[in-house]
Amino acid sequence: MLGQLEFLAGLVLLGLTLALSSTILFRGAQQLPPGPPPKTISGNIHQMPRVAPWTTFAEWSKQYGSAIIHYRFFGRHFIVLNSVEAALALLEHRSNIYSDRPVVWMYNELAGRGMTVFSVSSQHPHHKIYRRLLQSGLNPRAVQGYQGILERELHILLEGLLNTPENYVKHLRRNAGAVVLDLAYGWPVTSDDDYFVSLMEEAFALHKQVVQPGRWLVEVMPFLRFVPSWMPGAHFKRFAFSVRARMKAIDQEPLKWTKEQMASGNAKDSFTSQHLQPQDGHYVDNNEERMIAWCSSALYAGGADTTVSIMLSFIALMIQYPDVQKKAQNEIDSVLDDHRLPNLDDQSSLPYVSALFKEILRYSPAARLGLPHRVIQEDTYNGYRIPQSSTVMANIWAICRDPSVYTNPDIFDPNRFLTRNEMDPRKLAFGFGRRVCPGAGFAETSVILNIANILACFNILKPVDVNTGAEYCPEISYTTGVTSHPSPFQCRIVPRPRSSVHLHGV
C-alpha cells in the first residue's frame, strides 16, 4: 500500500512539474489573451466564480480591455469570447478547427458519456452521422408532422394551468418531457409523475453533478483517472462508475420499450422506430442501433431542459413586463375569433409574439455560456495566441447585453426586432458552426405555440402578499449550469375573461 501511495505522489509531482514547465514556456511565446493574474502552478482556480460566471467573465472583459479573455487551470487553457465579432469569427467562420469538444474526464471517460451527441469529437466519424440522423427527424417538413403531438400536449398544459396554476413549473416540465418522449420514442406521458419523465430528470441531475466545475481534481490532473477505484481518496472514480451504470440503464429503458412495441406491432411512429426500420430496408446492426439510441436520448437532453428554461423565463418576464404581455395579447386577440386557440398556421400572423420569443432568448438565454468548444490546432486572433486544445466558450449572455449590438440591452423590449431590426439572437442561442443545434426550428415552433396559447387564455400576474394583500414583484435569480433556469418564484396565472370559450373542454 505504501508503495502505491508513493507512486501516486510521484505522479502528482510529475503533473505539477509539467504544468509549471508549460507555464514557463508560454511566457516566451506570443501573448495570450489578457485575464486575471494566475498563480504559477494552479492558475486561476482560486478566482473562479461558483455563481453566475457569465457576469464575472463580462467584468473581466471590461477590466482587461479585451473582447476575449484567458484563464488557466494548471496546464489547461480557457478562452472566453465576450463579443459577437469574436464568437462569429472563431466559432462560425473557423468552425473547421473550433468545432471539437473538450474532454471532460469525469463525464466523457470515467462515466462513459464520451460518445453522446453533445460530447463526441468533431473528428470522430459518428459526429456527421449523428447530425444527419437528427436533421432527418427535425427538419421543417418533419416538424409539421409533429403538429398533433404539440397540440395534444398543449391542451393538457392549459388544463393543468387552469386547475392547479400554482404547479406551473411541474406542468411546463411535463409538457416539454411529453412532447420529446413522444417524438423520440412514441412514449405517451399519461401523468405528471410519468416514469420516463422522472428517469430523464434523474439523468439531468446526475449530469449536473458529474460536470460541476471545479469539483473533481481529475479534470486538472487527468492521470488520476488511472488510480484504482478501491484506493483511499478515489471516491470520484467510484461515483463516476455508479453514474456510468445508472445512465446506461436510463438510456436503455425507453429504447427497450420502443423495440418491444415494434415487435408486438403496436409501435407508434417515432424517431426511434423510423430509424430502426429504415425505408430502404437495410439491416440495422448493433453499431447503428447504438448511434440511433444516442440521438434519441439527445432529443430529450437537448430539447426538454432548454424548453423548460425558456418557458420559465417567459413566465418570469411577463410578471415584470405587463405592458409587453398586454401588447402580445392584443395581437393574439386581433388575429383569432372567439372560438379557437392559436395554431401553427397563425405564427406568420403574430409578428409581435415571434419578436417576444426572440427577446426572451436574448434577455434570458438558456445556455448562457453555450456549450464549450475545443480548438484542435494553435490559432491567433487579434494578435493573441490561442493554444491548441484550449476550451473556447462564447459568453452569450454578455453578447446579448452588449450595447454595441442591442440598443438599451438591459430593457426587455420585443420591438427591437420589429422596428430596429437588431441582430437575431437565434444566431447566438442555438450554437455555432458545425455544432449548431439541429432542433432549433422545432424548439421555436413548440415554444411560440405554447406562448401564444397561454397568453390567449391567461393573465400572468404578480403574486400577492398574504399579509398586506398587495402585489409584489418577486426577485428572479438564475441557476448556474450548462442550462440556466429561473429559481423558483411565486406568481398568479389567472384565466382571462374572454378565455372561457377557449378553455371550455380543455
Name the nearest CA neighbour of 458 among 148, 163, 153, 150: 163
The radius of gyration of the chain from alpha carbons, rounded to an integer in Å, stands at 24
Residue ranges covered by each domain of the chain = 2-503
Q: Which residue has the cell 424517431?
A: 271
The answer to whether 474 touches 491, Cβ cutoff 8 Å, is yes
Strand stretches in 190-239, DSSP E: none
Instruction: Say how far apart CA 40 and CA 25 lie, in whole Å.
Output: 12
0.85 exceeded by pTM: yes
Q: How many residues does the chain have?
A: 506
DSSP string, 386-427: E-TT-EEEE-HHHHHT-TTTSSSTTS--GGGGTTS-PPPTHH
437 labeled part of a ligand binding site: yes
According to DSSP, residue 461 is labeled E
140: three-class secondary structure by DSSP: helix
| Helical H segments across 321-395, by residue range | 322-335, 351-363
Q: At what angle are helices 286-320 and 168-185 packed, to 10 degrees? A: 150
Q: Which residue has the cell 432549433?
A: 440
- CATH number, span 2-503: 1.10.630.10
Q: Which residues pair with 471 in a beta bridge?
A: 464
Instruction: Say how far apart CA 26 and CA 20 lie, in whole Å.
Output: 10
The answer to whether 482 touches 371, Cβ cutoff 8 Å, is yes
Q: Cα–chain-centroid distance for residue 150?
A: 20
Q: Cα–chain-centroid distance for residue 387?
A: 26
Q: Which residue has the cell 505504501?
A: 2
Q: Tens of pLDDT along the chain (506 residues)?
A: 333 433 344 444 444 444 444 444 444 447 999 999 999 998 998 998 889 999 999 999 999 999 999 999 888 999 999 999 999 999 999 999 999 999 999 999 999 999 999 999 999 999 999 999 999 888 888 888 888 999 999 999 999 999 999 999 999 999 999 999 999 999 999 888 889 989 988 998 899 899 887 788 898 889 999 999 999 889 999 999 999 999 999 999 999 999 999 999 998 999 999 999 987 778 889 999 999 999 999 998 888 889 999 999 999 999 999 999 999 999 999 998 767 899 988 999 999 999 999 999 999 999 999 999 999 999 999 999 999 999 999 999 999 999 999 999 999 999 999 988 899 999 999 999 999 998 899 999 999 999 999 999 999 999 999 888 899 999 999 998 889 999 999 999 999 986 654 565 55
Question: Positive or negative, the Cα torsion across 138, 368, 354, 447?
Answer: positive
Q: Cα–chain-centroid distance for residue 344?
A: 24
